[in-house]
Amino acid sequence: MTARLFHLIALLLLFFSLAACSASKETPQATTVQQVSGKVEGGLRVLTIDPAVGSHHYRIYRGDYIRIRMISGEPFTIEIPSLEVTKNFPPPEGEKPHIKVPDAGSYPFTIGEISGVIEALEFRAEAYSEVSSKEALKLIANLNPFILDVRTAGEFSDGHIEGAVLIPIQELQGRLGELKGREKDPLFVYCRSGNRSTVAGKFLVDAGFEQVINLRRGLVDWSRAGLPVVK
């Protein structure tokens, strides 16, 4: 065997040895993403209850405003003791058509003989972050973000952050075109207490916005910190 042939065989053996070693390494497991239940319609997360289903465990995001309906369409009363909620669906005229879930946690509920749990999760995404009022003030000064107010028109007229543009959360899906071209820009979103803006943040991230910043405790915390609003 010539020296050149011996060298070639040695190189081939080394190649196959490295390939086998690489193939034997464990592939990292993908991070498990907890799926949320229902779908968002008009700014509300709609959960549909089917009595025939064995498990009634529903996942939502902290801050979601949820509307619940029976798959049969029949009226019902839901009780959520830890939220001090006893609510009829459909609600009487003039009553809010949703339940507010302001904090992460597990909330057992009953609907007649049906029992289950609504689990509220914190929303996390690479393109999403939350800031305090003081952090927000610095952010606005340094980054000059697009400021989005997702409250109602009445709340907006009572006082808002200077430079804010109003798109109520119920209208955000239908008016997303008004934000076209800002997908890569910093987008600062707020509401009264940080709940509707969390819902808006999730929607904006899903729509492809890359820098969504939410005011964690909303305009309530902003005002408590003595920061200015305009009318």
pLDDT digits (tens, 9 = 90+) for 94-128: 898 899 898 899 999 999 999 999 999 988 899 99
* This prediction's pTM: 0.73
Domain endpoint, select from 68, 101, 121: 121
What's the number of domains the chain is made of? 2
pLDDT for residue 2: 55
Note whether 104 and 46 are same-domain residues: yes
Write out the residue range of the structural domain in which residue 218 sits: 128-224
The answer to whether residue 7 is domain-embedded is no
Q: How far apart are CA 104 and CA 123, in angstroms?
A: 10
Q: How far apart are CA 222 and CA 65, in angstroms?
A: 22
pLDDT digits (tens, 9 = 90+) for 139-148: 999 999 999 9
pLDDT digits (tens, 9 = 90+) for 172-201: 999 999 999 999 999 999 999 999 999 999
> Is the separation of the CB atoms in 173 and 185 below 8 Å?
no
Note whether 142 and 98 are same-domain residues: no
Note whether 88 and 147 are same-domain residues: no
